[in-house]
């Protein structure tokens, strides 16, 4: 699989910030659908998976029906949560949520 294109520019950051703007503590999860382009097969559709920010369980979850945790592409998927975590802990998020961070989350 190829790179996750949304992560290469500020567009991804803006989408995540927008998701956090409406965040209410009544929510259990925020789901981020992610599309990964297939660079090996130019006409292929690529692959969709979901990153869930599980607020109730205080952890990230990767929902991916086509990959097991040992799969190399799964590690690319797992890296997306680091980007979300960095945005979450940005100044914008800290101001909106009285300093709540997710540094200790898995």
Check residue 75 and give its pLDDT: 58
pLDDT at residue 1, as a whole number: 42
Q: CA nearest 31: which of 73, 84, 79, 83?
A: 84
pLDDT given at position 5: 43
Please list the residues that pair with 69 across neighbouring strands. none
In the chain, domain spans = 5-96
- pLDDT at position 68 is 67
**pLDDT exceeds cutoff 50 at 4:** no
Rounded to whole angstroms, the Cα distance separating 11 from 76 reads 19
The 10s digit of each residue's pLDDT in 57-82 is 877 787 888 776 666 665 565 566 67
User: Phi and psi for 79 in degrees, rounded to 5?
Assistant: -65, -25
> 105 and 60 in contact (C-beta within 8 Å)?
yes
Q: What is the pLDDT of residue 43?
A: 80
Q: In sequence order, which ranges of 1-106 are alpha helices (DSSP H)?
A: 10-21, 72-88, 91-96
CA torsion sign for 71, 9, 54, 97 is positive
Does this model's pTM top 0.85? My answer is no
pLDDT tens column, 5-54 = 444 456 666 766 666 665 555 778 878 888 777 777 778 787 788 888 78
């Amino acid at each position: 699989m190829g790179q996750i294109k949304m992560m290469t520019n500020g567009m991804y950051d803006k989408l995540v910030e927008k998701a956090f703007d409406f965040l209410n503590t009544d929510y259990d999860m925020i789901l981020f659908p992610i599309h990964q382009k297939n660079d090996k097969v130019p006409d292929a559709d690529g692959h969709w998976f979901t990153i869930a920010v599980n607020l109730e369980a205080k952890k990230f979850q990767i929902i991916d029906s086509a990959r097991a945790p040992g799969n190399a592409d799964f590690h690319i998927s797992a890296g997306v949560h680091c980007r979300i975590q960095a945005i979450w802990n940005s100044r914008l998020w800290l101001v909106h949520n009285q300093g709540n961070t997710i540094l200790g989350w898995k």
